[in-house]
Structure 1
Amino acid sequence: MIEVEHLSKTYGSTEAIRDVAFRVETGEILGFLGPNGAGKTTTMRILAGYLPATSGTARIAGYDVHSDSMAVRQRIGYLPENPPLYLEMTVEGFLHFVGRIKGMAAGDRPHRVQIAMERCGLLEKRSVLIRKLSKGYRQRVGIAQAIIHDPPVIILDEPTVGLDPRQIIEVRQLIKGLAGEHTLILSTHILPEVSVTCNRVAIIHQGQIVATDSPQHLMSNLGRELTYEVEVAGDQQRAQQLLGQLPAITRVEPLSQDSQDQHGPGRSRLQVIAHPQEDPGHAIALTLVQNGLELYELRRQQVSLEEVFLNLTTQEAAPDALGIRWLTPRQSRVCSTTRQPHRRSAKEIWHGHRLRKHSGHLPAGTAELFFLALGLHRRRIILAAGGLFPSADLTRAPTASLPK
């Protein structure tokens, strides 16, 4: 369903992403993981047709995002990090508005709005102004506008950021309910979301994919060490000595003493650390039993996804070594097109459209919504790509030239 090959994006001499490649099969949920500034948002916007790639290809449902961008936009639903919502509209009114600008037929629109509200749990809020909704419900509205035209592919950029634990659970259940009928890419740096939501994971670091696999395989194969917990009856020091002599074992540490152990007299617990390339579980059990020690438990501890993530993303160069110059607040306002709209934003984002009178009132994220919607109506939009950088990747951006 989604094929990305050798995708790169540069801003001047700065590489936001480099040689990115991954696949997402039909019905899968791919967790796109990475620290802030790693290139997640850049990749998502290229897939959504909002940014052009410098090189490489990406295909969605068989269509190239560059040469067949109109067909791609008709087949994706996109939720940017800041949902493009009009706060003075009601939930139902906003979804009808989105349906109109996405070119949906008038006869089909009420049915699609009803389905989107049902799937996102918004029926009770249909007549409520969006500004009166909690952040969790606003996020639901953002997802509803992404799925209103029933796209085969849904791209969600940080859908749970800023939500409280209850809201996170609700949005997580909503996302899982979309799987199967839709193919999803979930961009996030919140690791528990990936473990419980996604079929596969792609980890991006400093603009490059460093791992892609299922969460379970990543935790099994990419841990720094193998750890076993052993409960044994007998001489604890002798057990430590015997296990420490095994070639695959790097160290053995006591977890409890004989006299203090709650499991009964003569028992102790040990933590056994082994090389990640080895699996000495059988050798541990055999050594203890053959030497007259009673083995009560041998359990391999699972490496967490957090540990795998840190393992793959801790080799980070200092900002100066990457040629990054930090931005002043004024420069950040010029570079960011979604976080802090200002009087120049519409003119800087695209040319040829008389949106200047609205630019002081554009809500965060409106750029993405209008770009996709106007694209569906086949209007020409010229993106001033040379002077723009996704706001989520500002720490990687080159210094902007300020407008006069």
Structure 2
Amino acid sequence: MSIEVKNITKVYNDQKALNNVSFKVKDAEIVGFLGPNGAGKSTMMKILTTYIEASEGSAVVNEFDVNSDKKKVQSSVGYLPEHNPLYTDLYVKEYLNFNANAYGVPKSKINEVIELTGLKPEAHKKISQLSKGYRQRVGLANALLHNPEVLILDEPTTGLDPNQLVDIRNLIRSIGKEKTVFLSTHIMQEVEAMCDRVIIINKGEIVADKYLKDLREGQDQIVIAEFDYRIEDAFLLKLPKVTNVKNPHGFVYEITFNTKEDMRSHVFDFAHDNDLKILQLNQKNTSLESMFRELTS
């Protein structure tokens, strides 16, 4: 396991930021740590990177204990904090050279991470001249300088425009083919675009831990049908594999089926057999977003 967290609790004064949190992250896995603002995401990141200590419990990163083996944890982890700390008066290469000296890594690594993170067109500029997207790339390049086995990224896409988002997503996906990536966000679309697995935290407690593949495969199917007049829910409940029927407004019905089969043809046949006109017939799957709202509301 790249990361193993056991019963971590963190208390600030009288407030619990984390309450008995446990999870594991396997090698070469991209895991999204998802939760609303103030849920405890950044606190967990800081514990895993040894910036702060937990009040209770234990955590191991790359088989090193975050309390007793801090230096070894730091040498095997690349960390991009939520507020990317950069020396903006330095040139890109100058900044990376400074950090290469601090890490004790050869200067050849500088060009490697510049190439990897797509910084080459901007490498001759001062950091103050860079866009937010390229500043994030500098932070990622710095986190990769010492070739860490684990990347811990706290809100890596905050404030990026749509084009920058796509570039950073692709970069993280590429890095995740060889390294473990543990990233925090409160944006569901980012998790769905980048991650293999999602851990949802709310008010300092884990409320869900699922692989995205399993979540998609396990989704109920919702068919939205609008007829030309109102009918009783009981008739729709007789359709095969129906688990629920809702009538949110007018003549519109949300029919939930527990199956992967596209059930719109069954709804169409139902309408035909009962002399109903169909005004709309769409399919809507339950999503990570709806699960997030349900678990964190």
Rounded to whole Å, the distance in 2 between the matches of 1:280 and 1:65 is: 44
Rounded to whole Å, the distance in 1 between the matches of 2:268 and 2:123 is: 67
Q: Is the 8 A contact 2:78 2:151 kept in 1?
A: yes
Alignment match, 2:266 = 285
Q: Alignment RMSD, CA only? A: 3.2
Q: Is the 8 A contact 1:96 1:110 kept in 2?
A: yes
SS at match of 1:121: coil
Matches within 5 A, 1:112-151: 112-151=109-148
Q: Which moved more, 1:204-213 or 1:59-68?
A: 59-68
How far off is 1:198 after superposition?
A: 0.4
Rounded to whole Å, the distance in 2 between the matches of 1:25 and 1:299 is: 38
Distance 1:287 1:100, change over 3 A: closer
Rounded to whole Å, the distance in 1 between the matches of 2:27 and 2:99 is: 26
Rounded to whole Å, the distance in 1 between the matches of 2:283 and 2:39 is: 33
SS at match of 2:86: coil
What is the TM-score normalised by the length of structure 1? 0.64
User: 1:210-243 deviations in whole A, cap 9, x for unaligned?
Assistant: 101023444665x8x86223589xx865686621
Amino acid of the structure 2 residue aligned with 1:114: N
How far off is 1:64 after superposition?
A: 1.3
Rounded to whole Å, the distance in 2 between the matches of 1:203 and 1:219 is: 16
Matches within 5 A, 1:372-391: none
Distance 1:154 1:271, change over 3 A: same
Alignment match, 2:78 = 77
Rounded to whole Å, the distance in 2 between the matches of 1:255 and 1:23 is: 47
Unaligned runs of 5+ in 2: none
Rounded to whole Å, the distance in 1 between the matches of 2:23 and 2:166 is: 28
User: 1:94-138 deviations in whole A, cap 9, x for unaligned?
Assistant: 10100111222xxxx221101100011112222211111111111
SS at match of 2:160: coil
Q: 2:156 aligns with which of 159, 183, 206?
A: 159
Amino acid of the structure 1 residue aligned with 2:33: F
Alignment match, 1:243 = 236
Rounded to whole Å, the distance in 1 between the matches of 2:233 and 2:9 is: 52
Q: 2:290 aligns with which of 267, 284, 307?
A: 307
Q: 1:227 aligns with which of 222, 225, 241?
A: 222
Relative to its length, the structure with more strand (as a share) is 2
Alignment match, 2:184 = 187
Matches within 5 A, 1:3-402: 3-104=4-105, 109-218=106-215, 227-230=222-225, 242-244=235-237, 248-252=243-247, 271-274=253-256, 285=266, 292=273, 300-314=283-297
Amino acid of the structure 2 residue aligned with 1:242: F
Amino acid of the structure 2 residue aligned with 1:249: N
How far off is 1:52 after superposition?
A: 0.7
SS at match of 2:33: strand
SS at match of 2:136: helix
Q: Is the 8 A contact 1:285 1:298 kept in 2?
A: no
Rounded to whole Å, the distance in 2 between the matches of 1:173 and 1:135 is: 16
Count of residues in correspondence between the two structures: 291
SS at match of 2:138: helix
How far off is 1:201 after superposition?
A: 0.4
Identity of aligned residues (%): 38
**Higher Cα Rg, which structure:** 1
User: 1:274-332 deviations in whole A, cap 9, x for unaligned?
Assistant: 4x9x56977x9399569945999986521122211111111xxxxxxxxxxxxxxxxxx
SS at match of 1:308: helix
Alignment match, 1:384 = none
Distance 1:216 1:239, change over 3 A: farther
SS at match of 1:92: helix
Unaligned runs of 5+ in 1: 257-269, 315-404
Rounded to whole Å, the distance in 2 between the matches of 1:236 and 1:9 is: 56
Amino acid of the structure 2 residue aligned with 1:303: T
Rounded to whole Å, the distance in 2 between the matches of 1:300 and 1:137 is: 39
Distance 1:287 1:81, change over 3 A: closer
Rounded to whole Å, the distance in 2 between the matches of 1:131 and 1:230 is: 54
Q: Is the 8 A contact 1:29 1:198 kept in 2?
A: yes
SS at match of 1:27: coil
Distance 1:251 1:123, change over 3 A: closer
Distance 1:117 1:291, change over 3 A: closer
Q: Is the 8 A contact 1:242 1:287 kept in 2?
A: no
Rounded to whole Å, the distance in 2 between the matches of 1:87 and 1:76 is: 23
SS at match of 1:82: coil
How far off is 1:50 after superposition?
A: 0.8
Q: Is the 8 A contact 2:136 2:156 kept in 1?
A: yes
